[in-house]
Structure 1
């Protein structure tokens, strides 16, 4: 072996050792792929909620809301076998992970879906979603803390929710327009 080859090998080993020494820690991923999960039982797995039309002056102050509109996520093919969750509990349950699309959330209001439209969108309001049974607000883009669990009661079950507009501005600062939003639903079994 020539001197140049030996020097190249020693240099490569030194670089590899330097990279290993620069490590500050390790990330370990744990998870499980389960056999079956609940499915939303609607065409195209979409649930349409008609929130209605409201005069901007019906919102008298920031924080006012429109009437709660009930809606249901109908589920089928739910697994009945219990599994262990990350908090150590063992049962057949899930949480809702509601994720906003490109519109995101209203600035300074992380649990209000920002409204949008193909033409002119309203401004000064957002859409809030809450659990119908507990009347707990379902957070957007994260899981609820404390945990909001939905026990699987059968292969077919419903998750009942409310949705409504919430004003973020005084009525004079609310802009009239279409107030639509889409939120992606993930049933989280962790």
Structure 2
């Protein structure tokens, strides 16, 4: 009898420990609609940005930058509205928000700038909303010296853009 009473008491205590104070209902939708990016029929689209060669003297100190190189993300056939954001990924420096070199080479980084030539911190990009079904989004790639001295060498990196409908 004592064992049964003890088991009953313990089970009533255990159920109250698993009570909840709020229910979070999550809803979503998977759609077939998507934007066409740079007239590509391949997904994911690859956009190549060829940065010109620079001399290490162009990046003399930590925080210096050089060579804004423009590129465009052309969106067409989009549902309305669509949010365009840069994703935080393993190629984004946790401190600078710039793209790190993924090959053996220079210790320089590549910053992504918006259409107004302002740096985008890829760790926390709020994105921008496109309406009207199409847009030409202008960005820049920029050499960036997180630390000094910058070492000579090749640089290769990549970032991801996400479209949210």
TM-score above 0.5: yes
Cα distance in 1 between the residues matched to 2:106 and 2:15: 57
Cα distance in 2 between the residues matched to 1:58 and 1:47: 26
Map 1:21-40 onto structure 2 (within 5 A): 26=22, 28=24, 30=26, 32-33=28-29, 35=31, 36-40=33-37
Map 1:38-187 onto structure 2 (within 5 A): 38-40=35-37, 41-42=39-40, 43=42, 44-80=44-80, 92-101=81-90, 103-105=91-93, 108-109=95-96, 111-117=97-103, 120-123=104-107, 125-132=108-115, 134-144=116-126, 148-154=127-133, 156-170=134-148, 173-187=149-163
* Superposition RMSD in Å: 2.7
Unpaired segments ≥5 residues, structure 1: 81-91
- The 3 A distance-change label for structure 1 pair 113 and 31 is farther
Shift of residue 135, structure 1, vs aligned partner: 2.7
Instruction: Give secondary structure in 2 for the equivalent of 1:128.
Output: strand
Instruction: Give secondary structure in 2 for the equivalent of 1:114.
Output: coil
TM-score, normalised by the number of residues in structure 1: 0.70
Aligned length: 161
TM-score, normalised by the number of residues in structure 2: 0.78
- The 3 A distance-change label for structure 1 pair 45 and 29 is farther
Instruction: Give secondary structure in 1 for the equivalent of 2:154.
Output: coil
